[in-house]
A and B are shown apart, each in its own frame.
Chain A
Amino acid sequence: MTLPEVFRGPSSRHYLKMKWDYPVYAPGAGEKTEGTYSRAERKALTREEALAYIAGDDPRPLLVLRECKVCNGTDDALLKGGSDNEKTFLLSAWFHCVKLPVDVMEENHPFNALFTQKNPEHLFVCSTNGENHKALESQTSRTELWKSMHGLLGKEYTKKPDASLKKLQALLDKFDAQDQRLNELLSRRDQILEEDGPKSKKLPKLATKIAKEEDSLAKLQGEATKAYRLELRRQKNLKKDKEASSSTR
């Protein structure tokens, strides 16, 4: 028997979302030019160049999804429906998630070098420099997907995400309850304001309750932010190097 899907409130949904980047390599696009202009021919970058471009300044490990005609450019390759997706969403926040278009398979597409295998992968995770590459196909089971995500996170971050993940999963239910309480109070306040006016005697007591609930929600948000805070090994090493160089000066 499958469990019914849980309906999540707005605060939870903020965390249950894939935050994709959609890099486009299009030098000169949208720029005004003077005189004669000739458009440069589109050509593929090297694998290193492509990785460096899509990683940009984001130090998190990469999770790269290639859109295809079957997945319709949606997140279907990652998400199979049901509440189990929540774990995937939560884990994804420690990755720099990048979505590339269908035409990346064309030989002259700037990012084509990432998909030159005999059976080009649909989805992969890797470090920003391309190391620790792990292909994940859409057929991959949820357990395998999480295992691969966990594996790379363990290599990239100074701490494994297990405790944080557990904390975040617990917070989702708390967010929902808190949202419900707060929204009921806000709706009630709006109703009184509009029907009885701002001088209604019911308002001060309600305002105190709203402030209390808003404070509780802010605390939960603070806990979520804290749970998400994991240090990247690369950043830690950089910090160490800096400290070492300043102490030897």
Chain B
Amino acid sequence: MLNSRSAARMKAPSLFTLLFVLFCAATPASAQKDGEMEEFEEVDPYTKGERDLERALGYKRFGFFPWRYTDDTKSVQENMGGIPMIWVETEHFLIGSSLGTYKIPNDREERKLIKEEIAQLKKKLGKLKAPKKKLDPYLRLHIYAQRLERLYAAFVEDLGLTEADFGRSGTHLGHKDKFRVLLCQRKSEYSRYLLAYEKQDIEFSYRTGWRGEGMLFLANVEAIAENWKKEPDAPIDTMFYCLLSHNIANNFIDGFHRQYLFQGPDWLVYGLGHVYTKRIDERYPFFDGRKVIYDKHDESWNWQPRVRNLVKNDFYTSAEKMFTWTDYSDLGPRDHLISWSKLEYLMSGLDGDLKQFISLSCYPLASNPRAQEESESELVTRQTRALKESFNLTPAELDANWAKWVEKTYKKK
């Protein structure tokens, strides 16, 4: 059974669920043919069903396969409204997608990103004509499958993980099941899954996990796009990718120990989400959708100068205080900047052991092995020990060294 903290986090809307809500208005750049529900081609035009090409893309299975318990992807699709979907199993993920054709907007960063990703796919497939205007549902799925595997690879590389770290079940961070991901075009299929399988009603995205099994993340594009109706060139796909990356990173930390789900300290959970999101596109950090924080001309997404100012004014939360955070609401807007920055510092090639730090930080104390209602002092003890054993730093030393690093490294404007 999960303790109340874990249960609360599982039921909570994922961070990004809260993010896009109040972003100002506009036209979804995602689109179907003249507003009609899109029919997907029966055969993937990129692999044409050839097993060798599917293997080249790293796919284990393409089409219908078991999902969870007695449900297979066919019954899941039926319960999601019988809409067109494509399913694929990669090395570490089970992915379902109802994402429709996407009109690539006139956004320089997004165009560059998509071009690079298509070039990578081309290397795997041998030939692929890069579309200039639209991404069809199959190409979108191939891109997202590639993105997800790249995220997993980044996490493994950043932490220096090997299969030996997870015993016999070295893949998918030692979980029995692969990470499940549902990429939904509309709120309706997304909401139907949530209601039928999770008994939840949350608008944007949702993540959860099951001890001894695996983790799940699902999100929908429509909820994001409807907030950008007046911006025809809003890079909705990039936003969705940022949303996905953030939450998958959250699940990596919260699922780091398969037997102790949702024990990751919140500053690490959200900090890593921000680290990975910023690697994709700095413009969409979305740290608190409950307030209108940015508008189109706002520069507040530019976190480096802001963190620099906070350090200059000695106005930031101490590491020791951060160690006590157990709920999303414990973090104020600036706390997300600090969490991101302190983790970025620890990941900056510092002499130490990041893997061990995250492992120990996410592992309950021996004195409270089930992490039941951990006290603040237990949380501080757990992470202080992790910091000492992994980086030979006290929380105060972390703060002092990080502040110096920020002053030296971060841009002023």
Chain A residues at the B interface, C-beta cutoff of 8 Å? 7-10, 13, 20-24, 26, 28-33, 37, 39, 42, 67-74, 76, 99, 101-103, 106, 179, 183, 186, 190, 193-198
Contact = CB atoms under 8 A, between A and B. Distances in A.
Contacts of A26: 79, 196
Contacts of A29: 71, 75, 79, 196-197
B291 A186 contact: yes
Given A30-B197, A42-B78, A74-B222, A22 B70 contact: no
B79 A24 contact: yes
Interface in B156-201: 186-189, 191-192, 195-198, 201
B119 interface: no
B306 interface: yes
A197 B36 contact: no
Interface string B77-89: 0111111000000
A201 to B, nearest CB: 14
B334 interface: yes
Interface string B122-146: 0000000000000000000000000
B188 A31 contact: no
A20 B226 CA distance: 15
Contact of B188 (A37, A70, A101, A106): A101
Contacts of B83: 73, 101-103
19 contacts: A7-B24, A7-B25, A9-B292, A22-B191, A24-B195, A26-B196, A29-B71, A42-B78, A69-B37, A70-B37, A71-B35, A72-B35, A74-B35, A74-B186, A101-B81, A101-B82, A102-B82, A186-B291, A194-B315
Which residue, B22, B24, B70, has most C-beta atoms of chain A within 10 A? Answer: B70
Which residue, A20, A21, A22, has most C-beta atoms of chain B within 10 A? Answer: A22
B310 interface: yes
* Interface size class, chain B: 35 or more
A13 B23 CA distance: 11
Contacts of A101: 80-83, 188-189, 192
Contacts of B79: 24, 26, 29
B309 interface: yes
B313 interface: yes
B411 interface: no
Given A42-B78, A67-B81, A76 B314 contact: no
A33 B198 CA distance: 16
Nearest to A68: B37
A32 to B, nearest CB: 5
Interface string B294-310: 00000010000010011
B300 to A, nearest CB: 8
A26 B300 CA distance: 45
Contacts of A179: 292
Which residue, A7, A9, A30, has most C-beta atoms of chain B within 10 A? Answer: A30
Contacts of B70: 28, 31, 33, 37, 39
